[in-house]
Amino acid sequence: MAKKKVRVDQSLCIGCGCCAGTYPDDFRIGDSGLAETVAETAEEDAAGICPVGAISVEE
């Protein structure tokens, strides 16, 4: 899978850690308890792992 530019909408994030657990090189749970990107890009299928749709892929 290709890496794409992604964004985490922290107003939707519930801090479950699905993204960080599945893609630890791309996401982490920050000090706020919410997900954030490690870099500006992540695997493009990472958006589908979020149960609340907080991760979006920018085209």
Helical spans, DSSP H, in the chain: 18-22
Does domain 3-57 match CATH 3.30.70.20? yes
User: What is the reported pLDDT for 1?
Assistant: 66
CB 39 within 8 A of CB 4: no
User: What is the reported pLDDT for 54?
Assistant: 97
pTM of the predicted structure, to 2 decimals: 0.88
Q: Name the stretches of the chain with pLDDT < 70.
A: 1
CB 36 within 8 A of CB 27: yes
The number of beta carbons lying within 10 Å of the beta carbon of residue 40 is: 12
